[in-house]
Amino acid sequence: MTEPVFTLSDIVTTVNTGTSEEQQILKNLNLTINKGDFITVIGTNGAGKSTLFNTIAGNIKPASGQILLGTKNITSENDIKRTNYISRVFQDPKMGTAPRMTVAENLLLALNRGRRRKFKPRHLKQQIAKFQELTKQIPNGLSEHLNTPAGNLSGGQRQTLSFLMATLVQPDLLLLDEHTAALDPKTSQELLKLTAKIVEQEQLSCLMITHHLEDALSYGNRTIVLNDGQIQSDLSGEARANLSTTDLLTYFNDLE
Ligand SMILES: Nc1ncnc2c1ncn2[C@@H]1O[C@H](COP(=O)(O)OP(=O)(O)OP(=O)(O)O)[C@@H](O)[C@H]1O
């Protein structure tokens, strides 16, 4: 039986509230995310995808509506508190890692997420073998750079590190905000494959924004189409399996 891990009910998100520029971005949006759902999110520029993620992560407080984590109402919890159970990977490889800390130190930081633990060199030593295994999963040389500061990594290596950090301690919800868009095609596909592997292995619940319709259909078990601040379509099962990218493109164009 499926159980909701995250529920958005009647979410209204406005920007520039109280000014003449006030604008409703999310318009009574409803979404239920079940345990193990890997949902790809598509939509035209300005449809509200980033605003949806900002609302889920607590960066923007909705004007109305309710956000539930399981059965717990977290609508008023701030973004910092939500990092204990929501992980996010951004498009920009520079976000999500500490540039002056080494790869291994960054991973240790991620391993200690939500725990009050002081940083000690012996803790790092205890984890090195694990970190080596973890980084070896992708053939981009990250495993040979455990002692390199994150700021000196290539974009692909740094984004892999961000992704591994986001999933090292299992989050209740993983948000992938076009996390492979800034990478070259080969590196992008490698990271997408690693994403699918880890999401499945760890049975993570995940939302992934993408502009690649092929990726939107080939990864995950559900695709939602966002249009003008609402979920226009929620595709899964046979309906999704039978859809080609051409069908989806037509569909997509109909929205504009
Ligand atoms: N802080 C803000 N102030 C004013 N307008 C905003 C703000 N945040 C978002 N918007 C507007 O809300 C709309 C939705 O933006 P959002 O970034 O969520 O779209 P998106 O679907 O992620 O687009 P893209 O694919 O281009 O990244 C856009 O019209 C945008 O200009």
If asked whether residues 81 and 2 sit together in one domain, one would say: yes
What pLDDT is stored for residue 117 in this prediction? 61
Mutate to test the pocket of ligand 1, among 26, 50, 210 (most ligand atoms within 8 A of CB): 50
Looking at the structure, tell me whether residues 111 and 147 fall in a common domain. Answer: yes
Higher pLDDT pick, 136 / 251: 136
Give the model confidence (pLDDT) of 56-77 as tens digits.
999 999 999 999 999 999 999 9
- The tokens describing 113, both together, are 């997420």
Residues 149 and 195 placed together within one structural domain of the fold: no
**Which ligand 1 atom is nearest residue 52's CA?**
18
Residue nearest atom 12 in ligand 1 by C-alpha distance = 25
Q: CA torsion, points 204, 247, 239, 51, in degrees to nearest 10?
A: 40
C-alpha closest to that of 55 among 82, 23, 92: 82
Shared domain check, 145 and 71: no
Alpha helix stretches (DSSP H) within 14-154: 49-57, 79-82, 103-111, 121-135
Q: Mean pLDDT over all residues of the chain? A: 92
pLDDT of residue 37: 96
Domain match, 78 and 176 both = yes
19 lines ligand 1 (CB under 6 A): no
Looking at ligand 1, which residue's alpha carbon is closest to its atom 29?
A: 46
Q: pLDDT above 90 covers what percent of the chain?
A: 79
- What integer is the mean pLDDT of 95-123? 83
**Is the distance from the beta carbon of residue 51 to the nearest atom of ligand 1 less than 6 Å?**
yes
Query: Does 191 lie in the same domain as 155?
Result: no
* Together in a domain, 132 and 75: no
Give the other-Cβ count within 10 Å of 105's Cβ.
Answer: 19
Contacts of 146 (CB under 8 A, 6+ apart): 102, 103, 104, 128, 131, 132, 135
User: Could you tell me if 230 and 183 lie in one domain?
Assistant: yes
Residue nearest to atom 24 of ligand 1 (CA): 45
One domain, residues 166 and 178: no
Using the predicted structure, report yes or no on whether residue 202 has a pLDDT greater than 60.
yes
Q: Are 216 and 252 in contact (CB under 8 A)?
A: no
Pairing of strands 64-69, 38-43: unpaired
170, 186, 221: which is the final residue of a domain?
Answer: 170
Q: Which pLDDT band, with edges at 50, 70 and 90, does 139 fall under?
A: confident
Residue 55 belongs to domain spanning = 1-85+172-256
Tell me which residue has its CA closest to atom 17 in ligand 1: 50
pLDDT of residue 217: 95
Residues 191 and 212: beta-carbon distance below 8 Å: no
Select from 121, 136, 170 the last residue of a domain.
Answer: 170
CATH code for the domain in which residue 57 is found: 3.40.50.300
Q: Is residue 255's pLDDT more than 60?
A: no
Same domain, yes or no: 182 and 56: yes
What are the residues whose beta carbons fall under 8 Å from the beta carbon of 91, sequence distance 6 or more?
177, 178, 179, 181, 182
Q: What proportion of the chain, given as a percentage, has pLDDT over 70?
A: 94
- 29 and 79 in a single domain? The answer is yes
Q: How many domains does the chain contain in total?
A: 2
CB of 45 closer than 6 A to ligand 1? yes
Final residue before a domain boundary, out of 126, 154, 170: 170
pLDDT, average across residues 252-256: 60
Residues 213 and 231 in one domain: yes
Residue among 27, 45, 225 whose CB has most ligand 1 atoms within 8 A, to mutate: 45
Instruction: Give the pLDDT confidence score for residue 250 in this predicted structure.
Output: 77
Q: Which residues contact 118 (CB under 8 A, 6 or more apart)?
A: none
